[in-house]
Each structure stands twice: as C-alpha cells, then as structure tokens.
Amino acid sequence: MRRIMLTILISFFFFALHIVYAESQDIYVDINGEKIVFEVKPVIDRGRVLVPIRAIVEKMGMAVTWNDAVKEISAVKNDTQIKMQINSNRAMVNGKEIELDVPPKIVNGITIVPVRFISEITGATVYWNEDNRTVYISFENKMTAAAVKKNGKWFYIDKKGNAVNELEFNAVSSFSEGLAAVEIGGRWGFIDGECNIVIEPQYDFVQDFEGGVARVELEGKQGYIDRMGNRIIEPRYDYIGYFSDGLATVRIGEAYGYIDKRGEVVIEPRFGYPSVFSEGLAGMNANGKYGYIDKTGSFVIEPRFDGISTFSEGMARVVIGDEWGYIDKEGDVVIEARYEYARDFSEGLAMVRYDGKWGYIDRTGDFVVEPLFEGLSFFHEGLAAAKIDGEWGYIDDEGDFAVEPQFDSLSFIKEGLAAAKIDGKWGYVDSDGDIVIEPQFDDVDLFQEGLAAVKIDDEWGYIDSDGDFVIEPIFEHVVGRFENLE
C-alpha cells in the first residue's frame, strides 16, 4: 500500500480557551469526496483538529471496540491495531508506544482524536482548506488500477487486466492523493478512484495534486485548483511553482516573487529565478552570486556563493569556486567546499563525489562510506546500490558489500524484490542477490500491489512475484505500477 505523506495546514487565533468548538465557527470534514455529518462537531485543541474517530476508521474498514472500564478505544484491521485511552498522550500501535500531540477526549459521549495521528497511522492523506474551513481526508480502498495504452489510447485496467470502465484518454498521469490527471481533446482534467471524471477537462495543462491543490494552466496563465475543482488561485500568473513552506514562486513578466495559499503576494516580484522555500529560507541570485532570503524577502545570508541548494536537516549545499560544501542557517561554512558534487543530507548522511568516486559523509564531513564507487544510490531498507569496476551490488551502511557486484544495473528493493539487469536482460533478485525471476525482459518496473510491469517483444504486461504473467503482454505502453485508488 502506498503511503502517502500527510500535509495539513492550519492557522487559527486562539482566545482564552485551549479548545475552540465548531459552534463558534463551523469546521467541516470531507472523506473521499463525501461530506460527513458527525454526532459531535470537530473541535480545535492547541492547533490540532480533533474529529470523532468511529466515523473515520469505520469508513476505512476498521473494527472499533470500546473498553469502558479503562476508557480505551481500539481500532483493528488486518495487521494494524490502534489503542488509545481518553486524556492520555500515549497511544499503542501494534504494541509500540507513540506520543500524541493532543490526547483523545470525550465530548457528549463521543470519542474524538487528532486527525494527524489517525492519518499517519492509517496512511490517509489529510489537508486543511482555510477558505472553506474543511478538513479533507482521503484514504485508500481495495480497488487498484494501472494506466495502459493500446491502439493509441490510454485507459485503466484492474489486476485481472479488465478495463475499469469505458473511458479512454489521449494522455494520463499516475494517481496522486486519489486523483489522476487525464487529457481528452487537448484539454486536461481529473478522474477519481473509480476512474470517473470529477474535474472536467478544461485546462491546457495540469500538475498532480499535492497538499490538496494542483497547478493548472489556461491560456498561458497559471493558478491553482482544489480537489473539488474550485479555482482557489485564478490562472493569472505567467508562472507559478509548487507550494513549499506555505509559499509558492510566481513570475509576473520577468520578475519572481512569492504568494501564499490564498494567492496573496507576500514577497513582491523583484528577483531573478529563485528557489523554493525550505526550512524558512529560499535561495536567491543577486549580481551573479547566491544567498538566502527569509519570508520577508530580506537577505539573511548575503549573496556570496557560486551555487546553492535548498536547506535540508539544517544544512544547505553551496558552491564555492567549483567545489561543493555545506553551510548552516547562519551562513557559516560547516563542511568545507572540497567535493566535486554533493547531495542533500537525509537521515544524517549525504552522498558526495570526491576524486571521481562516490561515498557518504556524516554531518561533520567525515566519510562513513569511503568514496570508492563509480555509482551510488540512496539507502533503502539498510542497503544502497553501489557500482564498482562496472558492476552493481548492494552495500550496507558501513560500505561493505552485502551483495557482491555482479549486475549490469540494479534497483532498490520493493516488496522483497529488486530489478536487476544481466547480459542486457532484466529479471528480479532478492535482498541476498539471488535470482528469483530469470532475466528475460527488455524493460521492467518495480513491484507494487504484488505485480510488476514488464516489457517483452515491444509489448507490456504484468507478472506476479513468481514471474508468471497474470496480464498478458499486449499493451503499447504502461504508466507503470498498480496503484490504490481512492
């Protein structure tokens, strides 16, 4: 099941009370496109929206029980079990203790819990639309589909290879937050999880939904729509970027500035092309050098670098001369510029190229994986693909080979299998490097929902984890993996 990262933007002003009840200003909840009427209205407690748990988790197919003796509510589905006690900041998920920002409460006999907690545990996507004061919750259901192309047209099939419905499209995209962009007759719109059109094709181009909004272009101007298709920012900008840290880049004429999610300009367009905001700062060019501005548009790190990136984990990559190093948010160089190339820090490590080879450094700049490799991937489930002497294998976090280099190419592991190329053909191996599905395919994708798209003799089909075709190769192209639709 694809886990979709949570985005929820809430900005309220509190008066004397910690809890603001919906009676003062109604809060609405939309679950998978359906407006929900609760026995108890949602409330806000210390900046967190709390909603009745039973109505939400039962829609996700979870069984709910209540233990009145200990004031504990439990929700169970398959291998996921959640237990919470009223007024306790501790919850148990599959036997593991998790701390809550705000504890569950009982209001008029109904248990309410923080939306953030439920969404993180169940994999639902939650976001807040301040304009209509609505919490949108979308979660995965049992239906899965993949986009395929045949006879020049795109359509969606289920895991048996049957068309989900009769709709055909000129172009499609993957699902994002329960909606997928489709093009009919030169115009783009969106379909829902049942592959029905929910936002009519009317735009020259669109981007995928992210954080409950999607970029759209109409007659050369760009703006944003919400999941209902409402234009929350009218297409009036020559360019509009994606939202990051609550702001998006916009261009008017040749100058760039920033807007908030209401479309209001917060930093007037007066810059050359800038970066997105990350951790409160955005990179900016001035007189051929790069520095960083804050959300007032003022330089807080003066332009003195030859190249920059966004901040990640409190540090940003910068170029001094023709070498890469790292600075902190004060602008001080904390890892000297000595690398031919560098990537962002993630979980305390950064991939760098030194003397023509790739390795990993920690936050002090010390190598934890020596630069020995011609190619290197990010770590995934404790392993990283590494190339040496023209062949790929897997290394552990100390840089030792866990799977000896022997492959022409190698992906990361997903659902227990990785795509591996040997002698020009693709197959699949396990985490020990043992061949599970013999190399025989011209092209492949990773497994998802138990199936993988593979290409043989110029046509695409889908195989299971045993390597058997469950959907015969009859398609001109596929978008890729089966996806949960919501």
**Averaged pLDDT for residues 199-223:** 94
**Averaged pLDDT for residues 252-263:** 91
**Averaged pLDDT for residues 350-379:** 96
How would residue 78 be classed by pLDDT, with cut points 50, 70 and 90? low
Instruction: State residue 139's pLDDT score.
Output: 66
CA distance 242 to 278: 12
| Stronger pLDDT, 440 or 480, i.e. the higher one | 440
The H or E element spanning position 127 is: strand 125-129
Examine the pLDDT at 18 and tell me if it is beyond 60: no
Helix, strand, coil share (%) of the chain residues, nearest 5: 5, 55, 40
Name which of 18-32, 148-162, 470-484 the model is least confident about.
Answer: 18-32
Examine the pLDDT at 10 and tell me if it is beyond 60: no
Q: Tens digit of pLDDT for each residue in 46-55?
A: 878 888 888 7
Total H helices, total E strands in the chain: 2, 53
Instruction: State residue 150's pLDDT score.
Output: 96
**Averaged pLDDT for residues 221-233:** 93
Examine the pLDDT at 149 and tell me if it is beyond 80: yes
β-strands 477-478, 469-475: how paired? unpaired
**Averaged pLDDT for residues 90-103:** 85
Examine the pLDDT at 14 and tell me if it is beyond 80: no
**Averaged pLDDT for residues 333-346:** 96
pTM of the predicted model as reported, rounded to 2 decimal places: 0.70
Instruction: State residue 145's pLDDT score.
Output: 83
| Stronger pLDDT, 38 or 331, i.e. the higher one | 331
Instruction: State residue 16's pLDDT score.
Output: 29
Tokens of 204: 């020259």
CA distance 108 to 88: 18
CA angle, 233 as apex, 227 and 236 as ends, to 5°? Answer: 135
How would residue 29 be classed by pLDDT, with cut points 50, 70 and 90? confident
Q: Tens digit of pLDDT for each residue in 97-148?
A: 888 888 999 988 888 888 778 777 777 777 777 777 788 877 655 557 889 9
**Averaged pLDDT for residues 196-219:** 93
Residue ranges per structural domain of the chain = 19-138, 143-237, 413-484
DSSP state of 262: T
CA distance 119 to 76: 15
Across 182-196, 237-251, 331-345, the highest mean pLDDT is recorded for 331-345
C-alpha of 71 from chain center: 36
Instruction: State residue 45's pLDDT score.
Output: 83
Instruction: State residue 38's pLDDT score.
Output: 80
Name residues whose C-beta falls within 8 Å of residue 393's C-beta, 6 or more positions apart in sequence: 385, 386, 401, 402, 403, 404, 405, 406, 407, 410, 433
- State the chain's maximal CA–CA distance in angstroms: 70
**Averaged pLDDT for residues 399-420:** 95
Mapped onto helix, strand or coil, the DSSP state of residue 252 is strand
Three-class secondary structure assignment of 309-364: EEEECCEEEEEECCEEEEECCCCCEEEEEEECEECCCECCEEEEEECCEEEEECCC
Name which of 2-11, 298-307, 372-381 the model is least confident about.
Answer: 2-11
The letter for the amino acid at 14 is F
How would residue 480 be classed by pLDDT, with cut points 50, 70 and 90? low
The H or E element spanning position 120 is: helix 115-122
| Stronger pLDDT, 262 or 443, i.e. the higher one | 443
How would residue 483 be classed by pLDDT, with cut points 50, 70 and 90? low
Q: Any idea which fold 19-138 has?
A: Copper Amine Oxidase; Chain A, domain 1 (3.30.457)
Mean of pLDDT over the chain: 87
Examine the pLDDT at 345 and tell me if it is beyond 90: yes
